[in-house]
Structure 1
Amino acid sequence: MAGKCSQPREWIKGNVIGSGSFGVVNLAINKATGGIFVVKSASSGAGVQSLENEANILELLDSPYIVRCLGRDFSTGANGERKLNLFLEYMAGGSLADLAQKFGGALDETVIQVYTREILQGLSYLHRRGIVHNDLKCKNVLLGPTGNIKLADFGCAKRLNSSQAGSKVSQQSICGTPLWMAPEVLRNEGLDTASDIWSLGCSIIEMATGRPPWADEVSNPMALLLKIACSSGVPQFPTNFSKEGLDFLAKCLQRDPKLRWTSEELLNHPFITRKNVMAPYEEDACSPTSILDVQLNEEDSDSDCDSEPLHNEELSSKVPFSTRYNRFRGRLTRKQQREYDLHSNEKWITVR
């Protein structure tokens, strides 16, 4: 199997670092090598089914833009329940959602351009193999220690009947996260690779604004879902985006899936191919090995160091891929924080 590596035989479970509708995610250490990896565990019927689907798909894949599956095993819980553990590579940078929050809620367009290119590389790899991710959002895009991007969370992923463009798979139940879903998916008309392209557009809006798509209309969730599914509307585009960026979003967010550009076509769009206008940063910029590394000046009073605090201008030069650095998350308004919380597990969950 293409993406399968040597499975950890003896390992130690660490702290919980995430949870979802499927179960929990823990850090883990391979006792034989000392390597750190991630374990996703589920014991419920739906959770086990979701993890099995994720493992079955990931074991077929081998791409630098897709998180690697290291193996899986079954165990018996304390109450005798059957438990599935899925072993995955550890991505030290966290998710794009984590990153945006650490840098004031939104990312600079130049950085969005870089991340979007790598997301498209991952989508192109999947789509050529007849696989639809079906739950693309910033929370499911992870960063490695060098700032590289990998697609993750394939619990909702589907294999098409054929790898040919335009083929569809019918769904007996809707799967994904509602605010990022394409209209045809919410109408349960089946999905194809174009569904991922709509979700990509929504994720770019999320990166650019620090808010979920449709954030201005979440006061009435049911009315909003009907609007996404049945109206002629699209999410509001970022007001500060370039002409190329807005055109790119327009190509992604066509309500008619037949009019959306494919991942291959989007890789040749000017928004992706244009020269990076912030090239002077290339020599000096470095990506964090963890999202914790960006907390350069938070809670200075708790530090025992005597070093001078960095001014905002100095910090911006050290972290050039931020559009606007917040020394404290308090600068996010309560409204913005509520909006971002809407795609947490308590509100908008991944539907499986």
Structure 2
Amino acid sequence: MSSSQNLMDLEVNQSVYDVLQGYDVGDVIGKGSYSVVRKVTDKKTKKNFAVKVIRKDALQDNLKYVQQEIRIMTDVSVGHPNILTLYKAYETDEFFLLLTDLAEGGELYDCVCAKGQFNEAVVKCIIRQLVSAVAYIHKNGIVHRDLKPENVLLECRDDYTNLWIADFGLANILNEESRGVLHTMCGTPGYMAPECIRQLGHAQPVDLWSIGVITYLLIAGFAPFERQTPALEMRAVLKSDYTFPSDVFQNISDECKNFIKSCLVQNPNDRITAEDALRHPFLKE
């Protein structure tokens, strides 16, 4: 069955509406290869939410990632204002349904595409929220592993004062079983830390590398390791092959550039931690 057929089935399957009978089901606001996201409104409170409807038989090998995402978001999403809240998770024979905050502002990625570059004050506001959320999940033994603008959502369009980290599908828990180290290569090449590419074991420092890439991207309008192919991007990451072009960074503070450098350190043991990042002069309030 094709993904388009799967999506069509999501539109009409009665079991989905049976689960959501307490909500007015609105428009489709997003689609993925195995999911549809709709706006829904609680009939009693009139509060708006988003519901992600995921078809199980389209997941195939990705089923474990959805189950892991539900477990992690159930544990941490209500504990920090900059993590997308999972209010309820439903499961039927055919579907998972995840009821979350409604991000009416869309993805940070869309804002990057529209604006190109952000001024330093706005970047500081955005990154401080992300680092605060990352510090919280790290404190709870979780590593996100796929931080990028596509996984950062805005509550309202062009309002950068309330952001949510979303998509914990590649996140994992550091526990006794993992011995505090993960080995699966995952993430998006341009944002992936060198130790993840090398598959020699990685942990929470990979998220700070991604934070450094995002900071650079917001300032410059392009990513530090942006190349023509993913393979070339990964090669650039492994060599720390990036610069601060003077025409882009001439009016950017030394504190901002130092923050980026502190995140983009090859050795994860020497990389800045999330807690220390919050105290960095660039982010310090």
Report the TM-score when normalising by structure 1.
0.66
Aligned to 1:233: 240
Aligned-residue offset at 1:10: 2.4
Bigger relative contact order, structure 1 or 2, given CA contacts below 8 A and separation 6+?
Answer: 1
Which of 154, 161, 174 aligns to 1:160? It is 174
Moved over 4 A (4+): none
Aligned-residue offset at 1:22: 5.1
Aligned to 1:85: 97
Which of 275, 279, 285 aligns to 1:264? It is 275
Residues 214-270 of structure 1 show CA distances to partners (whole Å, capped at 9, x for unaligned) of 22x22x432332342xx4224444632211111001100001111101011111111
Aligned to 2:82: 65
Distance 1:153 1:242, change over 3 A: same
Distance 1:31 1:45, change over 3 A: farther
Residues 252-307 of structure 1 show CA distances to partners (whole Å, capped at 9, x for unaligned) of 00011111010111111111126xxxxxxxxxxxxxxxxxxxxxxxxxxxxxxxxx
Which of 33, 45, 56 aligns to 1:33? It is 45
Which of 219, 222, 227 aligns to 2:231? It is 222
Distance 1:21 1:207, change over 3 A: farther
Higher helix content, 1 or 2 = 2
Between stretches 144-153 and 113-122, larger displacement belongs to 144-153
Matched, 1:148 2:162: yes
Aligned to 1:24: 36
Q: How many residues are matched?
A: 255
CA distance in 1, matches of 2:86, 2:223: 29
Aligned-residue offset at 1:47: 4.3
Matched, 1:134 2:145: yes
Aligned to 1:49: 64
3-state SS in 2 of match to 1:59 = helix
3-state SS in 1 of match to 2:99 = strand
Aligned to 2:127: 116
CA distance in 1, matches of 2:25, 2:74: 22
Distance 1:84 1:209, change over 3 A: same
Distance 1:94 1:190, change over 3 A: same
The unaligned stretches of length 5 or more in structure 1 are: 1-6, 77-81, 275-352
CA distance in 1, matches of 2:95, 2:185: 25
Between stretches 11-20 and 63-72, larger displacement belongs to 11-20
1:264-343 alignment runs, 5 A limit: 264-273=275-284
Report the TM-score when normalising by structure 2.
0.81
1:168-207 alignment runs, 5 A limit: 168-171=180-183, 173-207=184-218
3-state SS in 1 of match to 2:95 = strand
The unaligned stretches of length 5 or more in structure 2 are: 1-18
Higher strand content, 1 or 2 = 2
Q: Once superposed, what is the RMSD of the aligned Cα atoms?
A: 2.5
Percent identity at matched positions? 32
Structure with greater Cα Rg: 1
